[in-house]
Amino acid sequence: MNITLNELLKQTSRSFYLTLRVLPAAVRPQIGLAYLLARTTDTIADTEILPVAQRLDALKKLRERILSQTSTPLRFGELAQQQGEPAEKVLLERVEDALAALKEFSAADVRLIRDVLGTITSGQELDLRRFGGSAPGQQSNQKIISLQTAAELDDYTYRVAGCVGEFWTKICRAHLFPDARLDEKQFITDGIRFGKGLQLVNILRDLPADLKNGRCYLPTQRLEEAKLLPETLLSPVNQAKFLPLYREQLAKAEAHLAAGWRYTNTLPFGQFRVRLACAWPILIGVRTLAKLRGAGVIELSQRVKVSRGEVRGIIFRSLMASPFPPAWRKLYAPAGNAVDSQAELA
């Protein structure tokens, strides 16, 4: 990628840019471009001031360009003008430059980038169609749209994040350790769960904001079993019924992150840059889950988050521990009862 796109990546990727910088140079451009294009599709999907049909059309056109199904240049001027963040405005205005950067990579790398973007956009389109009837700032008497089943939630987390773990695994395997002897099936499975876990953490952390915007990712099937409605999930009177259900989802997210930690420790020990890039989001995710587990509905309504100071501490401790396996293993300390035992993951 040229320097302008790299600078744009820095402006739009926030915390991910730190992860990207620590990656080896052999995979940094491919992962960076895939992220940049995913942020572009995400920006389109999130431009709520525009009708859903218009956003779906823009996503379709961008997906077709990414997959090389059409060569018609994209013009997202109207979408760009609706962005509150200058970087996201430039992201849409420079979309053709990002697409042109695909030509810098091998056919195998381009195929992986196209595959992951095709899956991500399918999840974004599904999300728009599913929640298209909801609106930001829902009133308390308006119905909130919810996913129906646990299978729908699992499918969504795969489409928007699990597939990223799969892409990450394949691109790193091809360029960094092609000859390492690994259980390939388990390695890819854990990579997918890694991505799913990070997305589920985001969903659980962002529950209050999503409810305000008329959407609920906790499945209706499970809510009905607990005699709960999305509209009153965070009401203090429902805390005793809601928190056990919520903590079930926290345990599921933690089990996915535990698989992600196993994945991280499956990497060849010499791949310390990739290990750090994987460890940081996992350790931040585990810390987020610990805070969510200890919160009541009042605290959850105020959006629980890990502070910048805590993030800096996680990064510092992991850097210090990375050369020493016993110290490294101690970094991971889940707060709850993940399905995978820590003994299995050490």
DSSP letter for each residue of 25-63? TTTHHHHHHHHHHHHHHHHHHT-TTS-HHHHHHHHHHHH
First to last CA, the chain: 38
CA separation (Å) from 56 to 36, 43, 45, 128, 285?
A: 19, 12, 8, 7, 31
* Side chain identity, residue 309: G
Say what the pLDDT of residue 338 is: 47
Average pLDDT over residues 97-116: 95
Whether the per-residue pLDDT at 194 is higher than 50: the answer is yes
* The residue to which tokens 């050369």 are assigned: 323
Percent of the chain having pLDDT more than 70? 92
Segment holding 215, helix H or strand E: strand 215-216
Interatomic CA distance for residues 64 and 41, integer angstroms:
12
Model confidence over 256-291: pLDDT tens digits? Answer: 999 999 999 999 989 999 999 999 999 999 999 999
pLDDT at 300 over 50: yes
